[in-house]
């Protein structure tokens, strides 16, 4: 299995603390993804996100077409580095996610 690291940044008119707090909220994930995808089952994840949280989500392409099961597990939340690490996969096995 390969590992990919995604780093994304933007300038926001808020403090870093406020932005980081929003990143950890599952509602923010739903809001950001809503332009292209929806996820059924997000309400099973804690907000704020914390290590060990996991869910089998139903991906809905373009918020219209039901697609596959997307497995999401939060591996780490580092408040000092403001970094969130997840393990994700699709299908029945979730690419090794248990």
pLDDT tens for each residue of 76-97: 999 999 999 999 998 765 544 5
State which residues form the domain around 39.
16-90
Q: Looking at the chain, how many residues does it have?
A: 98
31: in domain:
yes
Residue 1 has what pLDDT?
Answer: 60
75: in domain:
yes
Residue 83: CB atoms within 10 Å: 12
25: in domain:
yes
95: in domain:
no
pTM: 0.78
72: in domain:
yes
Q: How many domains does the chain have?
A: 1
7: in domain:
no
Summarize the confidence of residues 36-56 as an average pLDDT.
95
Measure Cα distances from 19 to 23, 24, 29, 34, 75 in Å: 6, 9, 13, 19, 20
Residue 98 has what pLDDT?
Answer: 46
């Amino acid at each position: 299995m390969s590992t990919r690291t995604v780093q994304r940044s933007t300038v926001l008119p808020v403090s870093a603390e406020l932005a980081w707090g929003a990143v950890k909220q599952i509602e923010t994930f739903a809001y950001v993804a809503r332009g292209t995808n929806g996820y059924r089952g997000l309400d099973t994840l804690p907000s704020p996100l914390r290590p060990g949280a996991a869910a089998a989500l139903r991906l809905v392409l373009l918020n219209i077409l039901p697609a596959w099961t997307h497995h999401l597990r939060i591996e780490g939340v580092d408040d000092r580095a403001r970094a969130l690490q997840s393990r994700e996969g699709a299908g029945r096995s979730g690419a090794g996610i248990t």
